[in-house]
Amino acid sequence: MGGERRNGYIDRLRKGILVECGVVALLAVLVAGRAQSRAEQSFGTNALSIEQDYIKWVDFTVSYEALCCAYEWDVKTHGTEHEIGWVDLLAYTAARTGGTFDKQALKIMEKAAQDVFEGEKTFEELTADLKYFPYYQDAYDAALGGLVGEFKEECVDGAGNVTYRDCYGLKGYFPLARGFEYSHYDDFGAGRSYGYQRRHLGHDMMGRIGTPIICVESGVVEALGWNQYGGWRIGIRSFDGRRYYYYAHLRQNYPYAEGLEEGSVVTAGDVIGYMGHTGYSTEENVNNIEVTHLHWGLELIFDESQKESDNEIWIDLYALTRFLAKHTQETEKVGDTREWVRTGRIVDPAVEEYKAASGNHTEDTETP
């Protein structure tokens, strides 16, 4: 009987061990599945949603540190055998993390960039199994596509001779002229009550009246004039049509740079207007905004039906504003007037290509 009990005990022990092994294996599968689908889960709730054949929503959560890291790799590898586009690197990281850009995400980004740079892997290999990489790539290209690239920068020697040198890097500009004081914080999504309850869909930069406003990216002036909410405002569309830059609450009586009008072609770095506090009025030229500031916003447009609709996509610009501070534009006052102009010009190939394709050979506001 003792042997039978012992054998029965051993049998039960074996069965127990087998059950425990099965549970452990099941848990391992669940954990692996959870890790594998983290980006997909985040994609559905935190990053972007896709309906039909174009993107309907983007939650732009790229951090300042991630923007800097990706940009540095882009510039470092430009023209080499293993080029790394900053949009691709950011999209890869987002596809791995579900749009999260914490310290771990930066490590993932650095490792991927190093592997590509050293020829260990190609981007095609890195992204082959990332289901949502194309979506993040499209979304981030829409947000950042016109800010980095080739351009020519003006150089003036001691004798006043002007030449242009070829450059590659950040050709997008900080939205305020260099040397003018400002303050800002991340206020995207904060509540607004004038007219109706709504979210703040831009970025406010507080400063003083008359601070020159700088064109962030080259494009075409699509809107100019009074808006009940934004006061005197400017809307500039990127040449690829995917970005609409909105600059609002411009100065009373003298809001715009001389010669600016709808249809004007502007180059990144041009002075386009001046800070004020107009708006919150159906009557034109009224200062009803309490604090002098620039409201600048960026709408992403994947289909023209989104442009003015209930499905507009505006993104948080706090991190991007900090990043653009790497590239500020110096300005100088024009005599005794209220006008300011840029010093040091660039030639943006995107401007030249647009003019050639559209037959628009008019000069922009400042750049020859």
At 110-131, the pLDDT tens digits run 999 999 999 999 999 999 999 9
Q: Which carries the bigger pLDDT value, residue 362 or residue 256? A: 256
Average pLDDT over the chain reads: 87
pLDDT at 37 > cutoff 90:
no
Residue position matching structure tokens 């040198």: 165
Burial class (CB in 10 A: 0-12, 13-18, 19+), 215: buried
Is residue 237 within 8 Å of residue 219, measured between CB atoms? yes
| pTM of the predicted structure, to 2 decimals | 0.84
Is the predicted pLDDT of residue 51 greater than 50, yes or no? Answer: no
Q: Which residues contact 261 (CB under 8 A, 6 or more apart)?
A: 221, 224
What confidence score (pLDDT) does residue 189 get? 74
- Predicted confidence (pLDDT) at residue 272 exceeds the cutoff of 60: yes
CB neighbour list of residue 133: distance below 8 Å, 6 or more residues apart? 91, 92, 95, 127
CA-wise closest residue to 301 among 55, 100, 115, 129? 55
What is the chain's length? 368
3-state secondary structure 286-337: CECCCCCEEEEEEEECCCHHHCCCCCCEECCCHHHHHHHCCCCCCEEECCCC
Return the minimum-mean-pLDDT range out of 3-17, 153-167, 321-335: 3-17
Q: Is 179 left (phi over 0), alpha (psi -120 to 50) or beta?
A: left
Section 46-57 average pLDDT: 65
- DSSP bridge pairs for 340: 333
Per-residue model confidence (pLDDT) at position 268: 98
182-235 pLDDT tens trace: 999 998 777 765 656 667 789 999 999 999 999 999 999 999 999 999 999 999
Over range 348-368, report the average pLDDT.
75
